[in-house]
Amino acid sequence: MLISKECDYAVRIVRELADGGKKTAEDIGRKENIPHQFAYKILKKLEKSGLVQAFRGKAGGYALTKDLDEFSLYDVFSAVEERVLLTACLQKDFVCPMNGGESHCRVHREFIRLQELLFAGLKEKKVSEVLGLTRGADFRTFG
């Protein structure tokens, strides 16, 4: 299993915004080694999910809307990926010749169990812990 490049970049974008400042997609991309257009695309998804706020105009940019203790790795990943899956067989519409009717093969059942562990782990890990930071600032008052 690989975490997608988009998920990796999303975590790096959050890392760059972790100081509470407002930054442009270009600045973030340059500092985190993310292509500018890709950074912009991910920032739009993070904005849509409510993790990031966009500021328009000459002094515009992006800033976090929540304290780093208020959201998890799962929140970041799910903002940019519809679903983070261990394997293709866990996709809703995947047709597997080993699964018939209501029964699933033992491997599939184990992948389901592992997927649940992955989600639980991602949900329990706050971004502040991953980044080794403890923040007290309330980013929602940034202006």
H/E run at residue 64: strand 61-64
Whole-number Å distance between alpha carbons of 90 and 31: 35
135 has pLDDT over 60:
no
Q: Which CATH class is domain 5-141?
A: mainly alpha
On the question of pLDDT at 60 being above 70, the answer is yes
Domain boundaries in the chain?
5-141
Specify which of 19-23, 26-30, 106-110, 119-123 reaches the highest per-range mean pLDDT: 26-30
Residue 129, Cβ density class (10 Å: 0-12 exposed, 13-18 middle, ≥19 buried): middle
Question: How would DSSP label each residue in 35-60?
Answer: -HHHHHHHHHHHHHTTSEEEE-STT-
Amino acid 101: pLDDT: 59
Amino acid at 19: D
